[in-house]
Amino acid sequence: MGEKYYLRLLLTVVRGAQSYEHLRTVNTDVHPTLKAACISPGLLEHDGEWISTFREGSLFCSGFALRQLFPMALCHETISNPFALWEEFRDAFCDDLPHLLASGRIPVPPNAQKGQEDIQYDYGLFLLEKELQEHGKSLREFELPSSQLHWQNRDVGIPSIV
């Protein structure tokens, strides 16, 4: 429910709200979204449990498994800062991808620059987007970056055990 959830949460604590801007204002700071306004005063739980989950998961799980868990967590739980989780755990989410890309099992798009260091993260974002689409969601809804390369019709599927 996204913004509706954040709106309702703010309406429970902001007395006499006059506008959306008033709702997004916390201690004279106007936040760009209702979600950001909920995070600022601590109305949303900290992502500490998710950080612990992904930290532990990065020790025992493959990138494939973590890429299945992350979209599920985004769709079914309230993660306050998805971008921070992506930034912190993107190496773990994509740990299997450099090998697949280097082996040629996944053809690299022609618009990729040779030696591009972040190509595995771009492909990881593409895979996350595909997983989110199965739930009727997109990376944009969670304020996550989108893949910049054209991976469509190049994804031959990744085996579940890598």
For residues 60 and 118, membership in a common domain is answered with yes
CA 67 to CA 131: how far, in whole Å?
Answer: 8
pLDDT (tens digit per residue) in 30-47: 888 877 787 777 776 667
pLDDT (tens digit per residue) in 96-129: 998 888 888 888 887 776 556 688 999 999 999 9
For residues 63 and 83, membership in a common domain is answered with yes
Looking at per-residue pLDDT, the higher value among 52 and 137 belongs to 137
CA 144 to CA 162: how far, in whole Å?
Answer: 25
pLDDT exceeds 50 at position 162: no
Range scoring the smallest mean pLDDT among 7-11, 20-24, 107-111, 157-161: 157-161
> How many domains does the chain contain in total?
2
pLDDT of residue 154: 60
pLDDT (tens digit per residue) in 57-102: 999 999 999 999 999 989 876 687 899 999 999 999 999 998 888 8
- Is residue 19 in some structural domain? yes
- Parent domain of 78: 48-142
Surface-to-core class of residue 17, CB atoms within 10 Å of its CB (0-12 exposed, 13-18 middle, 19+ buried): middle
Quick check: helix, strand or coil at residue 157? coil
For residues 90 and 14, membership in a common domain is answered with no
pLDDT of residue 155: 54
For residues 77 and 100, membership in a common domain is answered with yes
C-alpha dihedral, 143 to 49 to 54 to 120, nearest 10°: 10
> Structure pTM?
0.70
- Is residue 149 in some structural domain? no
CA 9 to CA 13: how far, in whole Å?
Answer: 7
- pLDDT class of 2 with cuts at 50, 70, 90: low
- Is residue 161 in some structural domain? no
